[in-house]
């Protein structure tokens, strides 16, 4: 159903004035920014599950082969659900890139350290930190956490903003529509690029509070515009096309997103519906 293409990120690292975004799948992206190689919500396992013989299985292989990753400087995480925090991938990355920094919401640090991560930084909403000149802010999201039924909401969930002297990026995390997008835009914008979720939204009575659909995504964009100061905002669609988590057809989120984006009169070139493995570049 979905096309997988060869990635074209820059090896070993991109020039600091260039930002590249490569879609691995779901909310897993490789970001090259400020001369650094950054992974967000990396998942390379076959299933988003504690068991690799049961649970949501990939529809498309990872867009980047693990052994072809460039040197990873940082890993940024949004929360502890299996489709975002994958224990086998964490262990592989920690073993392959022991000097990498790990940036995660409150309560997740011990999980990472037990799997080999060394430099772990936990942050609460609106807390800040830096990676070699790249400024990070942990920002609010509307979701929940927990890897078992008996342990719910014991750790935080979040999004992140990344600001270099050249570019500013928002990774909204896994989230429903919430009013803090306005505050995020005002406090951390304007943004060049926003990675926003558009899938896993049906049935709405159940998924509406925690997962945005395309209409919600457009409302989030409208809220972010308050901090854009007239600057165009590129939106990269995430959280679709990789794991079958909910009731809507797998190809519905990108189709509706394109239709509603066009109906809203927004510039089509500012919507990135990427193919698995695709690399896009901002200079």
In the chain, what is the straight-line distance between the N-terminal and C-terminal CA atoms, in Å? 31
Residue 28 lies in a domain: yes
**Is the residue at 2 inside a domain?**
no
Spans in the chain with pLDDT lower than 50:
none
Contact 258, 244 (CB under 8 A): no
Cβ–Cβ under 8 Å, residues 80 and 147: yes
Query: How many domains, the chain?
Result: 1
148 Cβ partners below 8 Å, 6+ apart?
none
**216-227 confidence digits (pLDDT tens):** 999 999 999 999
Tokens of 13: 């690292």
- CA-to-CA distance for 258 and 264, rounded, in angstroms? 10
User: Which pLDDT score, from 0 to 100, does residue 15 have?
Assistant: 96
The domain spanning residue 38 has which CATH number? 3.60.15.10
- CA atoms of 139 and 184, how far apart (whole Å): 7
Q: Tokens representing 66?
A: 């693990």
Q: How high is the pLDDT of residue 51?
A: 75
- Is position 14 within any domain? no
* pLDDT, tens digit (0-9, with 9 covering 90-100), for 26-73: 999 999 999 999 999 999 999 998 777 678 999 999 999 999 999 999
The three-class DSSP label of residue 201 is coil
d(CA 28, CA 243): 12
- Output the CA torsion sign for 119, 124, 127, 128: positive
Residue 7 in domain: no
- 6 phi/psi in degrees, rounded to 5: -75, 130
Give residue 200's Cα distance to chain centre. Answer: 14
Q: Is residue 5 part of a domain?
A: no
**Torsion region of 261: left, alpha or beta (phi above 0 gives left; psi -120 to 50 gives alpha):** alpha
Dihedral class, residue 282 (left if φ above 0, else alpha if ψ from -120 to 50, else beta) = beta
Q: What is the pLDDT of residue 133?
A: 87
Q: Please tell me the predicted confidence (pLDDT) of residue 149.
A: 65
pLDDT at 50: 78
Q: Assess if residue 88 is contained within a domain.
A: yes
Q: Is residue 9 part of a domain?
A: no
Would you say residue 261 lies in a domain? yes
pLDDT value of position 150? 66
Question: How many Cβ atoms are within 10 Å of 16's Cβ, its own excluded?
Answer: 17
Computed on alpha carbons and rounded to an integer, the radius of gyration of the chain in Å comes to: 17
SS3 (DSSP) at 221: helix
Structural domain harbouring 34 = 19-282
């Amino acid at each position: 159903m979905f096309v997988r293409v060869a990635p074209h990120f820059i090896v070993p690292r991109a020039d600091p004035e260039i930002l590249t975004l490569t879609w691995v799948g779901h909310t897993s992206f490789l970001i090259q920014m400020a001369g650094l190689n950054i992974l967000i919500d990396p998942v390379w396992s076959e299933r988003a599950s504690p068991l690799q013989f049961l649970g949501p299985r990939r529809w498309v292989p990872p867009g980047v082969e693990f052994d072809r990753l460039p040197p990873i400087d940082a890993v940024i995480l949004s929360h502890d659900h299996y489709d975002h925090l994958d224990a086998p991938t964490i262990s592989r990355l920690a073993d392959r890139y022991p000097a990498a920094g790990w940036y995660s919401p409150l309560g997740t640090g011990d999980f990472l350290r037990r799997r080999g991560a060394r430099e772990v930084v936990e942050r609460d909403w609106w807390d800040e930190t830096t990676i070699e000149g790249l400024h990070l802010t942990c920002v609010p999201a509307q979701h929940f956490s927990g890897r078992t039924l008996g342990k719910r909401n014991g750790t935080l969930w979040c999004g992140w903003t990344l600001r270099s002297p050249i570019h500013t990026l928002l990774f909204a995390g896994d989230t429903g529509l919430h009013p803090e997008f306005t505050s995020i835009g005002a406090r951390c914008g304007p943004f060049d690029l926003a990675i926003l979720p558009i899938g896993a939204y049906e049935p709405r009575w159940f998924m509406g509070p925690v997962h945005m659909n395309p209409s919600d995504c457009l409302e989030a964009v409208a809220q972010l515009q308050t901090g854009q100061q007239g600057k165009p905002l590129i939106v990269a669609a995430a959280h679709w096309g990789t794991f079958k988590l909910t009731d809507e057809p797998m190809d519905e989120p990108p189709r509706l997103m394109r239709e509603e984006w066009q109906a809203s009169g927004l510039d089509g070139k500012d919507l990135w519906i990427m193919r698995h493995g695709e690399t896009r570049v901002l200079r």
